[in-house]
Amino acid sequence: MVSTLLSTPPSPSPSPIPPAIFITGTDTDVGKSVVAAMFTLGLGASYWKPIQSGPGPVDETGASSQGDRAYIQQLTGLPAAHFLPERHCLSQPLSPHAAAAIDGIQIQLSDFQLPRHDRAHLIVEGAGGLLVPLNPGGDYILDLIQHLALPVVLVARSGLGTLNHSLLSLERLRHSGIAVLGVVVNGPRNGSNCAAIAHYGQVPILLELPPLQPLNAARLQQAFQSIRWPEA
């Protein structure tokens, strides 16, 4: 019996807050956009979503925001200059490989370079989980993270099933040599699951993020101030 699932310790970050961070999740609709909004607002960062599939999330009234970029700008209230255009903006809310096929294009890793921006930090938001396909050639979101050479914040659910999803995601990130800054656990507080992710995943829990009501810039800023950054 082993005491922890992951034998390799987390890769240390060069500083508590790197200049660019990739926000990924254990699943779709796990809360990546809310967490990305929190980081973008808290750091006064630029925001970039390389691939947008479909119209994005809906607000509390059920209205579509027409993409995560517009949704996060609305949530944060930051000026439009903080928000960088997508490299691929696809019409259907599907996995990028499927949405791209419908739109008659094929996504390649060579399509992506970190965009120029004029702020101290850049927040990059992924699409779905790590093994969401980008193209028929076998590239995934995981490969995009490697290609961009960014450290990761992993967003996980707080409830039942999160341990398997979180630990598998952490194992794949480590196996791929990607630095993991920590995990944001999103949802109703669950101390047992947070402790298990930290112990078995050998990873810092940056924040337990409960449902924010109302979901607005003030609540996001308050949540950001509660992040427990690991020491460099």
pLDDT score recorded for residue 118: 94
pLDDT score recorded for residue 65: 52
Mean pLDDT is lowest, of 53-57, 94-98, 107-111, for 53-57
Q: Give the integer Cα–Cα distance in Å for 101 and 80.
A: 30
pLDDT score recorded for residue 231: 73
pLDDT digits (tens, 9 = 90+) for 13-42: 335 799 999 999 999 889 999 999 999 999
- 49 as an active site residue: the answer is yes
Q: What is the mean pLDDT of residues 3-8?
A: 44
Q: What is the mean pLDDT of residues 203-212?
A: 96
- 3-class SS of residue 179: coil
Mean pLDDT is lowest, of 41-45, 58-62, 117-121, 219-223, for 58-62
For residue 217, how far is the Cα from the chain centroid? Answer: 18
Catalytic residue among 10, 46, 49, 121: 49
pTM of this prediction?
0.90
Domains of the chain: 23-100+108-224 (3.40.50.300)
Is residue 59 over pLDDT 80?
A: no
pLDDT score recorded for residue 230: 82
In which band, very low, low, confident or very high, does the pLDDT at 2 lie, cut at 50, 70 and 90? Answer: very low
pLDDT greater at residue 14 or residue 197: 197
pLDDT digits (tens, 9 = 90+) for 148-179: 999 999 999 999 999 999 999 999 999 999 99
What are the tokens at 102?
């419908």
pLDDT score recorded for residue 90: 94
In which band, very low, low, confident or very high, does the pLDDT at 61 lie, cut at 50, 70 and 90? Answer: very low
DSSP state of 80: G
Q: What is the mean pLDDT of residues 188-213?
A: 97
